[in-house]
Structure 1
Amino acid sequence: MTLGLSGGSRVARLTRLQRSAGRPIAIERTCISSEFLPDALSIRSSIYKTLTDANFRPVRAMQRISACNIEDPDACMLGVTIGAAGLLTKRVAYLASGRAVAFTRSVFRGDADCFVTELAIPEN
C-alpha cells in the first residue's frame, strides 16, 4: 500500500546487513516494485544507483525515525540482546512524478549508531 501497488503486483524485497569495522550496526529492508527493478540480482552497489541507472532516480524521500526495542530475529543478526534499545526508520523514496519508488524499513543498534540532520532555512 505504501508504494501504491495493487495486491497482485510483483516486488523485489532486499535485505542488507550494514557493518562498521566488522560489527553489525543496522538491518535495512527495502521493497521496490518490479516495474522499477525487474532484476533484483542486477544490483552491484547501491539500490539508488541502480534505480538512477535505470532512469528511475528518486528525487526526494520522507523518513520517520522512532525509538524501538529490538526483537528477534533482528537482535540475533545485530548481536544484541532481545529488547535492546534501537532506532527504527521508515523511508519512502519518490520519483519526480510524485510516485513512490521504494519503501525502506531499517533497524539500527542504539549503542552503535547516530543520525545527523541538517536543516536549511530559506530566506523569505
Structure 2
Amino acid sequence: MSAADTRAWLGRVLLSVLLALTIGVLAYLLARAITTGYVLYQQQQLFQELGGVLQGGDIEALASSNLRTLRQRIEALNAYYAWFSVQIGFGAAALGAVGSYLWLEREAARAGE
C-alpha cells in the first residue's frame, strides 16, 4: 500500500466521520424538536390549572393544587426525552459512519477498476 493510497483511505475515513457527525447532529436536533413539541403539548394541563387558579384570585388554592407534582413530572419527562434524543443522534451517527464509509469505499473501488 503506497503513501497515496494511505492518504486517500484516510481522506475517505475523515469524510465518513464528518458525514456521520452531520447526520447525528441533524437527527438529534430533529428528535429534540419533536420531543420538545410533545412536552409543550403535555404542559397544557399545567398551564390550564395555573390559569384557573390565577383567574379565581385564590392564592390559597395554589397550596392545595398539584402544580408542583405536575411540574416535576414534566421536568422528568423532558430529561428522558433529552436522553432519548441523544441516543437517536448517536445511533444515526453510527449508521451514517458505516453507510458513508461503505459507499465511499465502493466508489473508490469502482474508480480503481
- TM-score (structure 1 length as normaliser): 0.20
Q: Which structure has the highest helix share of the two? A: 2
- Compare CA radii of gyration and give the structure with the larger one: 2
- The structure in which a higher percent of residues are strand is 1
